[in-house]
Amino acid sequence: MKSLSLLPVMCLGIFSTLWAQPGPPRGASQRMEALRIAFMTERLSLTPEESKLFWPLHEAFEVQMEAQREAMNDQKDAFDATKASTAEVRDLVESLAQQRKDMVDLESAYLLEVADLLGAERALMLPEMQRELARSIRERMGASGRKGPPGPRQGQSQRPVRRLRLN
């Protein structure tokens, strides 16, 4: 039981060590990653054994989701709506809709795997926990004295919105 209560403390210790280290912008991403790991480990009450199984599963899911998002953004960026026919626009919409369905299927499979690994209750915590983590990160970034308008929300592209014009 003692080892379970020490795990969040160890994660927070690692996080605080990384946070204190000066470095290039890459250090910021390392700090954010350490914060994410500590936050999720604590909220999910992961044991060391569960962590060994959960984190590779979670990281593989994140990589697949990011690849899907990039593919969708690349497809939208490569599409020239000013030269496209109505049929081509329709094909793009259908393709993007299918990619979104694939992402939902990917997330569903991930949640089922997590449910098998950690139990259904903790699997159900994941979506809200990830929103809470993103909100916390945005608040921390806002509290750091960042000036200017807020950036895009998590998962949104920084690219300008491209209006589709039909011929």
Q: What is the DSSP string of the chain?
A: -HHHHHHHHHHHHHHHHHHHS--SHHHHHHHHHHHHHHHHHHHHT--HHHHHHHHHHHHHHHHHHHHHHHHHHHHHHH--GGG--HHHHHHHHHHHHHHHHHHHHHHHHHHHHHHHHH-HHHHHHHHHHHHHHHHHHHHHHHHTT--SS--PPTT--SSPPPPP---
- Give pTM, 2 decimals: 0.65
Q: In this predicted structure, what is the pLDDT of residue 22?
A: 43
13 has a pLDDT exceeding 80: no
Domain edges within the chain: 1-45, 47-127
pLDDT at 35: 84
Question: Which region holds residue 166: left if phi is over 0, alpha if psi is between -120 and 50, else beta?
Answer: beta
pLDDT of residue 137: 79
pLDDT exceeds 70 at position 72 = yes
The confidence score (pLDDT) of residue 32 equals 82
Per-residue pLDDT at 14: 45
Q: For residue 140, what pLDDT is reported? A: 78
| Alpha-carbon gap, residue 25 to 86, rounded angstroms | 44
How many other C-beta atoms are found inside a 10 Å radius of the C-beta of residue 11?
20
Torsion of CA 154, 160, 166, 167, to 10 degrees: -160
Mean pLDDT over the full length of the chain: 78
Q: Name the more confident of 32 and 43.
A: 43
Summarize pLDDT for 140-162 with one digit per residue, the tens: 777 655 555 555 555 555 555 55
pLDDT of residue 151: 55
